[in-house]
């Protein structure tokens, strides 16, 4: 599930706070339908949960394990390659 860069960015965005599909799409500069497809996969893997509020859907991480897994993988990659990754960009707008 976390081999896709978009899904990694979604996890990092959700590490800061609960977000609507449209907010995530705006932060990623992607169509909401594309983001919804990625969120559905993360939901099937039980990495995210959601709630409905009127006609909007809000997502959050199911637990801290997903965030920690992504951060550990990014740090390992930086350590292995010696190159800093731009994972900070994925958290733009994070509260």
Q: Could you read off the pLDDT of 8-55 as tens digits, one per residue?
A: 899 989 988 999 999 999 999 999 999 999 999 999 999 999 999 999
Cα 47 to chain centroid distance, Å, stands at 10
- Cβ distance 23 to 32 under 8 Å? no
pTM more than 0.85: no
DSSP strand E in 1-95: where? 19-20, 48-53, 56-61
Which fold would CATH assign to domain 5-81?
A: Arc Repressor Mutant, subunit A (1.10.10)
- The answer, yes or no, to whether residue 3 has pLDDT greater than 90, is no
Q: Which two tokens stand for residue 50?
A: 């959601």
Residue 93 pLDDT: 43
Residue, of 80 and 47, whose pLDDT is higher? 47
Backbone torsion region of residue 94, taken as left when φ is above 0, otherwise alpha when ψ lies between -120 and 50, otherwise beta:
beta
Query: For the chain, what are the domain ranges?
Result: 5-81
Interatomic CA distance for residues 85 and 79, integer angstroms: 10
């Amino acid at each position: 599930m976390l081999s896709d860069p978009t899904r990694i960015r979604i996890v990092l965005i959700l590490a800061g706070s609960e977000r609507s599909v449209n907010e995530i799409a705006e932060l990623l500069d992607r169509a909401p339908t594309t983001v919804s497809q990625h969120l559905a996969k993360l939901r099937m893997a039980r990495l995210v949960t959601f709630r409905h509020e009127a006609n909007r859907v809000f997502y959050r991480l199911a637990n801290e394990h997903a965030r920690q897994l992504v951060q550990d993988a990014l740090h390992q990659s930086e350590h292995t390659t010696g190159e800093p990754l731009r994972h900070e960009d994925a958290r733009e707008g994070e509260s």
